[in-house]
Structure 1
Amino acid sequence: MLKKLIVALSLTVLMPLSAVAQEWREGEHYDLITPSVRTANSNKIEVVEFFWYGCGHCYNFEPMVSQWKKTLADDVEAHGSPAVWNKGMELHAKAYYTAQVLGVLETMHPVLFQAMNVDRKRLASDDEIKALFTANGVSAEDFDKVYSSFGINSQVRQANSRARAAKITGTPEMMVNGKYRISTRKAGSQANMLKIADYLIEKERASASQKQS
């Protein structure tokens, strides 16, 4: 009788833990990308967030992603990749990479999100984007030098190719190490997207460790 009581108590303690534990399954919660997409740095576990400044869901997701990035270990490299499905989005992608090259991405990234989602600006022309940059401390000369450069246009083309290779269908979506795609629809929530990203990062870390041993 005592033995049965101990077993029953043990199950009572363990049940909440098992209920909390989440098993993330390929095909159900995230997708395998085939063929895999080449990453920028093979020495790091790369996480890419596909986004668009005009996407309200991306606007809500951005603060969560920013905080999440602060928790990442040194063997993980996370960065954004603007979606480019039309000419308007191409301008916004150019704005992202221009801010990155000028070293003002930390300032301009939230400014660009706010402009489109809060201030309801379309940012549908080069001049409108330039005005936003100059209003936030970037000289017109520096902006002009970078914005329409070969390097920026090349990065926009690469972003477009990356999204196509990952078979992105919406924003925000994430890609882990060029192998796995995470969408809100399959993850169930934006919070779950980050939990699945953590799970897949650990999966890649374990795989790399096995190869080395």
Structure 2
Amino acid sequence: MKKLLALVMLWVAMPMLASAAAFEEGKDYKRLASPGAVEKPGMIEVREFFWYGCPHCYRLDPHINNWLKAKPADVNFLRTPAALNPVWEGSARGYYTLELMGAGLVEKTHTPLFNMIQENKARVFDENSLATFYARYGVDEAKFHSMFNSFAVTGKVMQSKSLAQKYQLDGVPAIVVNGKYVVSGEDAKVLQVVNYLLTKERSLKK
């Protein structure tokens, strides 16, 4: 009877064991030699680096949105528009301009901008095209232009560049977990790996 019970318990535990063993450092994620600081100490940080012109980021976005619906309370999720070259920097400036303008403008326009660029093949990357696009969602174009190259927006863009360099990123999408691990990819597996790393980080706090 004891042997049977042990076999049953092993059978029940097998999916969890398989899941835990399925993700390997160096294969499914990269561990950074020099971890970065998190924005909110005490919370586990999940930071997504993306670019609106990246089709891989576009394919990953719905999976991230689904994951966010049940985001754990101990996780601080941050979107970071990558600024690895001048074209990407334009998109990052637009993102941060909206973020500083407030009123949930980033949340309102994030998916529509992805759709416009990826589905309609529109090149909405520079200041003027971004201002025209965002105006459709109630953004004041004059205010947008006045803030686009502001000191505050430039500071945000420089921070994005600094973080990308710190995390040794050479492309997107990339998700950095707690400043320690980098996960790349464009499908649901990415968030499975993120969840695995969240569990790993929680175990270190015990």
TM category, shorter: 0.7 to 0.9
Output the TM-score relative to the length of structure 2.
Answer: 0.88
Label 1:110 to 1:20 Cα distance change in 2 as closer, same or farther (>3 A). same
Structure 2: how far apart are the matches of 1:124 and 1:193? 27
Q: Could you list the per-position Cα deviations for residues 119-139 of structure 1 after superposition, in whole angstroms to 9, with x for gaps in the alignment?
A: 211124311111111122111
Alignment-derived partner of residue 133 in structure 1: 134
Alignment-derived partner of residue 178 in structure 2: 177
Label 1:10 to 1:42 Cα distance change in 2 as closer, same or farther (>3 A). closer
Residue among 191, 200, 203 paired with 1:203:
200
Q: Could you list the per-position Cα deviations for residues 59-86 of structure 1 after superposition, in whole angstroms to 9, with x for gaps in the alignment?
A: 1111110110121222110111112121
Alignment-derived partner of residue 71 in structure 1: 70
Alignment-derived partner of residue 17 in structure 1: 15
Letter in 2 for 1:181: V
Label 1:26 to 1:148 Cα distance change in 2 as closer, same or farther (>3 A). same
Letter in 2 for 1:17: P
Structure 1: how far apart are the matches of 2:177 and 2:41? 12
Output the TM-score relative to the length of structure 1.
Answer: 0.85
Residue ranges of structure 2 left out of the alignment (5+ in a row): none
Structure 2: how far apart are the matches of 1:80 and 1:10? 43
How large is the RMSD of aligned CA atoms in angstroms?
A: 2.4
Count of residues in Structure 1 that have an aligned counterpart in Structure 2 = 203
Task: Indicate conservation of the 8 Å contact 1:30/1:180, yes or no.
Answer: yes
Alignment-derived partner of residue 110 in structure 1: 111
Task: Indicate conservation of the 8 Å contact 1:134/1:140, yes or no.
Answer: yes
Task: Indicate conservation of the 8 Å contact 2:91/2:126, yes or no.
Answer: no
The 3-state SS of whatever aligns with 1:178 is: coil
User: Which entry has the higher C-alpha Rg, 1 or 2?
Assistant: 1
Task: Indicate conservation of the 8 Å contact 1:93/1:156, yes or no.
Answer: yes
Structure 1: how far apart are the matches of 2:2 and 2:96? 65
Matched, 1:42 2:41: yes
Task: Indicate conservation of the 8 Å contact 1:33/1:181, yes or no.
Answer: yes
Report how far residue 16 of structure 1 moved: 6.5
Task: Indicate conservation of the 8 Å contact 1:50/1:83, yes or no.
Answer: yes
Alignment-derived partner of residue 61 in structure 1: 60
Label 1:53 to 1:14 Cα distance change in 2 as closer, same or farther (>3 A). same
Label 1:22 to 1:142 Cα distance change in 2 as closer, same or farther (>3 A). same
Structure 2: how far apart are the matches of 1:159 and 1:14? 44
Letter in 2 for 1:182: V
Report how far residue 14 of structure 1 moved: 5.2
The 3-state SS of whatever aligns with 2:48 is: strand
Label 1:153 to 1:22 Cα distance change in 2 as closer, same or farther (>3 A). same
